[in-house]
């Protein structure tokens, strides 16, 4: 009898804890850019070969973004308040639409020679992140080949995207619709959002 009461108590308390956690979820819509890694084990792993664990994708909120900033030599740019992206539906089309940059990590954290930046307007749910920081710290640095020195800082929060709209002149992708949208004159977007 005591065992049954204990089990019921644990079940009831777990229900209360799990429903209380949903109160911490906040829905937002924000302009910024996605930092997409070359390889993300949450999406790209097929079990066919041994690979590095990969790197998380991040969202960095910025009010204005120009892709030319990253190719300017002799400047340092710091992006702060980044959020880890939990999972992205149709990540490959976003990665294909993004700007590709080559660079070297100067903080011994990001182990790939290239990365992708995609200016977006994203609506998402944000919540407390339970994953440990990448490389046991909340930042990484990349020196773009013949370009800027970049510093990325992120918070211990994660987001679950609800909808993503790209802000570049390639084929706009609306993740809410889960398929590429054909560009028309009315949908023409610049990669420098206003």
Residue 132 contacts residue 156 (beta carbons within 8 Å): no
**Domain residue limits at 81:** 28-187
- Averaged pLDDT score across all residues of the chain: 76
173-192: pLDDT as tens digits: 444 433 333 333 333 333 33
pLDDT value, residue 110: 86
What is the count of structural domains for the chain?
Answer: 1
CA dist list (Å): 14 to 7, 33, 106, 181: 11, 37, 44, 43
The verdict on residue 3 lying in a domain is no
Of 43, 76, 67, the residue nearest 142 (C-alpha): 76
Three-state secondary-structure class, residue 145: coil
Token readout for 30 is 């924000």
Three-state secondary-structure class, residue 87: coil
Beta strands in the chain (DSSP E): 26-37, 57-61, 76-85, 99-105, 114-128, 139-144, 149-166, 173-174, 179-180
Three-state secondary-structure class, residue 84: strand
Rg (CA), the chain: 19
Q: Which residue has the tokens 């956690």?
A: 21
The verdict on residue 43 lying in a domain is yes
Token readout for 71 is 């190719």
20-57: pLDDT as tens digits: 444 467 788 999 999 998 877 666 555 554 445 568 89
The verdict on residue 18 lying in a domain is no
The verdict on residue 117 lying in a domain is yes
- What span, in angstroms and rounded, lies between the C-alpha atoms of 9 and 189? 55
The verdict on residue 7 lying in a domain is no
pLDDT value, residue 39: 77
99-148: pLDDT as tens digits: 999 999 888 888 889 999 999 999 999 998 888 888 888 999 999 999 99
The verdict on residue 74 lying in a domain is yes
Of 63, 91, 82, the residue nearest 164 (C-alpha): 91
The verdict on residue 86 lying in a domain is yes
The verdict on residue 11 lying in a domain is no
Of 93, 47, 82, 84, the residue nearest 153 (C-alpha): 82
């Amino acid at each position: 009898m005591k065992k049954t009461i204990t089990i019921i108590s644990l079940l009831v308390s777990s229900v209360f804890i799990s429903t209380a956690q949903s109160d911490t979820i906040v829905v937002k819509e924000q302009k910024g850019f996605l930092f997409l890694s070359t390889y993300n084990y949450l999406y790209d792993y097929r079990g066919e070969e041994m690979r590095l664990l990969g790197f998380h994708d991040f969202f960095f909120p910025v009010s204005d973004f120009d892709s030319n900033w990253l190719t300017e030599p002799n400047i340092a740019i710091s992006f702060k308040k980044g959020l880890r992206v939990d999972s992205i539906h149709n990540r490959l089309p976003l990665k294909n639409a993004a700007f590709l940059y080559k660079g070297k990590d100067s903080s011994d954290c990001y182990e790939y020679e290239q990365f992708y930046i995609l200016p977006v307007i994203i609506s998402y749910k944000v919540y407390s992140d339970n994953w440990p920081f990448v490389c046991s710290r909340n930042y990484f640095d990349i020196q773009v080949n013949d370009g800027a020195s970049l510093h990325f800082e992120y918070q211990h929060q994660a987001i679950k995207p609800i909808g993503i709209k790209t802000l570049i002149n390639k084929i706009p992708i609306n993740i809410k619709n889960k398929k590429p949208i054909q560009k028309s004159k009315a949908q023409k977007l610049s990669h420098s959002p206003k």
